[in-house]
Structure 1
Amino acid sequence: MAKLFEKEIGILIDDEPIGNELQLYECGFEECRPTKPYEFIPIDYWVLHYCIDGEGYFQIRDKQNHIHPGDLFMIPPHTKNKYFPMPSNPWSYRWIGIKGTLAKRILHTCGLSSEHYILHHKVDSRLEHLFETVYDDLKSQHKLKALGVTIQLLDYIQHNVYNNEKDELTSSELYFNQAIHFIHKNYFNNISIADIATAANIDRTYMYKLFQKYTKQSPSQYLQQYRLEKANILLRKSPLNITDVSYAVGFQNPPYFTKLYTQYWGITPSEYRKGFLLQDNND
């Protein structure tokens, strides 16, 4: 197979931002070898990859996804992940990494978030050209131009990738997305599985099958996990006591919250908070 790039890999990093709303922090390309090991990158920014050729695997939150040519996949900040090429058909991809106060909101308009991090698409010469242009402009030290093309790239994804994918969703995906949306907007309330099913306009049995298909969990397990993840944020960033944290994320019985939290994370909520306080003091 002919080489796609002159070099196997190219990486550019710009750690001197023009502003704090949206920053092009890095961009690059890579033509992976079949034997390349998996990567794990703990980052504090958003990285969006576009698979140009070949295949690979992207794993996040213990869920492995098969990536094909044309697909986009995103690594959210501070999220455990790994990805690696298929040995028999190793992938090549381009990527951009962005930061800023508006980055999360802009990516959400493109259908990308911490919960939805893959867009299935086709090989798209226009999209590839935009990724390539971002790299070339930054390499030439045209930082404003590179940022402008980054915005064009995200606009293209919003209108020509995400909107097309929405149009092609199956009925089961639409019902599942409605259920997930309801949970994310109402997890802090005393909602029941019946409430979620009603919001998605499906019965409980069908909803259970959808969650098993897309998350390998029951709806109640997904809801509990989501609440416990939100509890961690409050334990780190708020002055609320443990009882108030439990109510704030939708648990009506604080002792049950502590028991469930300890079973799920392996430490108590107090121990988790204490660990972050000690880390902050050491810093």
Structure 2
Amino acid sequence: MSQMDNLLLANYTELSLHECGREKCQPGKVITLDVKTYHLFHYVLYGSGTFIFNNKTYQLKKGDMFYIPPGETALYYPSDNNPWIYTWIGFSGTKSDQYLKRIGISDDHPIYHDTKELNLKPLFNDLADRYNHSQFLSIECLAIFMNILYKMMIAKHKEDVVLSAKETHIRMAKQFVENNFQFKIKVTDIANSLSLSPNYLANIFKETLGMSPKQYLTDYRMHKACQLLSNGVLSIKDVAKRVGYANPLHFSAEFKRVKRMSPTTYKNQNEL
């Protein structure tokens, strides 16, 4: 290779490329990867297959990507009825670990799923085409790969922002319940305090906490009721009022449903 060609190599301290390719695998072809000194991405262009790493088995399909870290081995093979076609890229560099962390890829999370919005397939195909045309990993190949990393990092950032917003809404909803549980509040009051629709609030509660806002409100009220009952000073009627129930019979029914015993039984068993 000439001196000019050497200047075109994708070989930089922060990020370097080591190998690249694209393969249409035949059914029954099992690959046990030799240990590499660099990171490897495999992106599934078509078909499906199996990836085994760290004693875990992953069934992958078009649009999935699997990661193999340096110093590790893995086993992977195509499905019999729909064998995969994939591209791969090997890379290293002083910033590799930072890129992977920002993307959310690690030994424990070696699978990445492409989306229609992200659409990494053309970039991985372009990367393989450029390498096959020139037969060396050029700066142009590095630019394509950096664009892949960039798009993955931006997508992760957007995901984190959405998650952060949900977590903020959950935290504020909990705070509203803690400050107002003693009043006659409903789920619509919690949602209105956050300028959210009740349906959206219900969805993020279910997704984040595994329960509805109504269930959370009821559970919190029963938690506070248990504290008051354990003190042994207040009557059942007064405890009911203190936790937002005007009707002591309604309170008793809810308490028994949640705690599997009546308020009176709980009070007798737990009075300090």
Give TM-score, length-normalised by structure 2. Answer: 0.51
* Aligned residue in 1 for 2:88: 95
The Cα shift of 1:110 comes to 1.2
Cα distance between partner residues in 1 of 2:86 and 2:160? 20
Give yes or no for contact 1:51–1:68 (8 Å, CA) kept in 2.
Answer: yes
Cα distance between partner residues in 2 of 1:154 and 1:52? 17
Aligned match for 1:50, one of 43, 56, 62: 43
Aligned match for 1:153, one of 143, 148, 155: 148
In structure 2, relative to structure 1, the CA distance for the partners of 1:142 and 1:38 (3 Å cut) is closer
In structure 2, relative to structure 1, the CA distance for the partners of 1:167 and 1:125 (3 Å cut) is closer
Deviations 1:176-217 (A, max 9, x none): xxxxxxxxxxxxxxxxxxxxxxxxx99xxxxxxxxxxxxxxx
In structure 2, relative to structure 1, the CA distance for the partners of 1:112 and 1:142 (3 Å cut) is closer
Cα distance between partner residues in 2 of 1:116 and 1:23? 23
Q: Percent of aligned positions with the same letter in both sequences?
A: 30
The Cα shift of 1:167 comes to 5.8
RMSD, matched Cα: 2.9
The Cα shift of 1:120 comes to 2.4
Aligned match for 1:77, one of 55, 62, 70: 70
Aligned match for 2:108, one of 96, 109, 115: 115
Q: Secondary structure at the match of 2:32?
A: coil
In structure 2, relative to structure 1, the CA distance for the partners of 1:162 and 1:56 (3 Å cut) is farther
The Cα shift of 1:17 comes to 5.5
Kindly tell me the number of residue pairs found equivalent between the two proteins: 156
Gap runs ≥5 in structure 1: 1-15, 172-200, 203-283
Gap runs ≥5 in structure 2: 1-8, 167-207, 210-272
Larger RCO (alpha carbons 8 Å, 6+ apart): 2
1:1-283 to structure 2, matched below 5 A, reads 18-122=11-115, 126-138=119-131, 139-140=133-134, 141=136, 143-160=138-155, 163-164=158-159
Cα distance between partner residues in 2 of 1:106 and 1:125? 17
Q: Secondary structure at the match of 2:20?
A: strand
Give yes or no for contact 1:69–1:123 (8 Å, CA) kept in 2.
Answer: no
Q: Secondary structure at the match of 1:50?
A: strand
Aligned amino acid, residue 75 of structure 2:
K
